[in-house]
Copies of this chain bind each other. A is one copy, B any other.
Amino acid sequence: MKKVPVLEIFGPTIQGEGMVIGQKTMFIRTGGCDYRCSWCDSAFTWDGSQQAELLNVDEIIEKLETIGGAAFNHVTISGGNPALHSGLGEVVKMLQEKGIKTAVETQGTIWQHWMKDIDEVTISPKPPSSGMDTNWEQLDEYIRQLNDREDKEVSLKIVIFDDKDLEYAVDVHQRYPHIAMFLQTGNEHLETADNSWLLSHLLNRYEELVEKVIASERLNEVKVLPQLHTLLWGNKQGV
């Protein structure tokens, strides 16, 4: 198999975002991304500041079990963009054989066959504030391939920093009205260590987003969520 560049494996902890919010899970965070979002909260996965370790499937499973013991039954693969790595297919397959559920988050730019095996796929197209462009035809095809699976789920998640991002979210929601849609408060203060200030700031931002969604007749079906791990632990990595 191809080895996978892994930046961190940690947990069990709580998934802080999106469709699986609150779920007890282990995290595998892979290195590398085809995007460079201006506000990326995991820029260490692609900016060269941290060194990934190239691991094969057995090494990844062994690390999960050493760190998590018997206290997990759910694994989230995050990045960076984990869809860069074909080698994850064997990891997903082995986790499934062990009866462990899997989730992944990706922007939906690169297809991998193993995406079809993931129980909970979160596709997170990036809004204008990120500085990235969306290839809509590519996204159409990505969602089409994931939406017709049985007993597996797919959702969209958009991080919102400003009103243009919210307009973008409306566009995405209208393009894919039957896909569960999550809006999430963006965190533009990635460097602060003042957790008390950050908490207050992010809850204010969350309330503002809630109020805008409440007022919009075009966003009646969506879910609006904060990042629970940031409310609890601020910008700390590996929790």
Contacts and interface: CB of A to CB of B under 8 A. Distances in A.
Given A73-B220, A232-B203, A214 B24 contact: yes
B224 A74 contact: no
A233 to B, nearest CB: 8
Given A71-B217, A207-B232, A224 B14 contact: yes
A59 to B, nearest CB: 23
Contacts of A223: 20-24
Interface in A170-199: 182, 199
Interface in A205-234: 206-207, 210, 213-217, 219-226, 228, 231-232
A222 to B, nearest CB: 6
A215 B71 CA distance: 7
8 contacts: A12-B214, A13-B210, A14-B213, A22-B182, A69-B217, A70-B217, A74-B220, A199-B203
Contacts of A216: 71
A143 to B, nearest CB: 20
A225 B217 CA distance: 28
Contacts of A72: 220
Contacts of A13: 210, 214
Contacts of A213: 14, 24
Contact of A74 (B23, B69, B206, B221): B221
Contacts of A220: 12, 24, 71-74
A210 B25 CA distance: 11
A68 B221 CA distance: 14
A210 B71 contact: no
Contacts of A24: 213-214, 219-224
Given A206-B232, A231-B231, A22 B217 contact: no
